């Protein structure tokens, strides 16, 4: 399962952060996920619970923000969000556009419990 390996890599990243902040308790993990990444939020949450079971991150929640697909026009430089798979430029109607976003998988923030 795709999401299981992602959950494991998130846990790795959080554990690396925790090594630098031994007293911190992570309350929430903010993720930015591109809509093109094919990641299913429910499956990822399920996998996260599986990999954090019996660890100190058992109570740590994932907060998932989906990022829309974005393109940039090679003709006029316009950057735009793609709706309904229309990848032509909304300003000049050129069809030569390049994908610049929508595949991200980033940890946006770690929320620490006081
Ligand atoms: Zn354009």
Average pLDDT, consecutive stretches of 10 residues, N- to C-terminus, the chain (114 residues): 91 92 90 94 96 94 96 98 95 97 93 82
Q: For residue 107, how far is its CA from the centre of ligand 1 (angstroms)? A: 31
What are the chain's domains?
2-68+102-113 (3.30.2320.50)
Q: pLDDT at position 21, please?
A: 85
Q: For residue 72, how far is its CA from the centre of ligand 1 (angstroms)? A: 8
What's the CA gap between 97 and 73, in Å, rounded?
A: 4
Q: pLDDT at position 1, please?
A: 55
Q: For residue 84, how far is its CA from the centre of ligand 1 (angstroms)? A: 18
Q: For residue 71, how far is its CA from the centre of ligand 1 (angstroms)? A: 10
């Amino acid at each position: 399962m795709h999401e299981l390996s992602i959950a494991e890599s998130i846990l790795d990243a959080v554990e690396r952060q925790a090594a630098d902040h031994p007293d911190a308790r992570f309350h929430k993990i903010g993720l930015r996920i591109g809509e093109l990444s094919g990641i299913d939020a429910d499956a990822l949450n399920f996998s996260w619970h599986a990999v954090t079971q019996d660890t100190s991150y058992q109570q740590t929640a994932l907060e998932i923000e989906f990022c829309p697909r974005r393109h940039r026009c090679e003709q006029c430089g316009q950057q735009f969000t793609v709706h309904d798979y229309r990848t032509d430029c909304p300003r000049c109607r050129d069809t030569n556009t390049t994908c610049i976003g929508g595949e991200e998988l980033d940890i946006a923030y770690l929320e620490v419990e006081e």
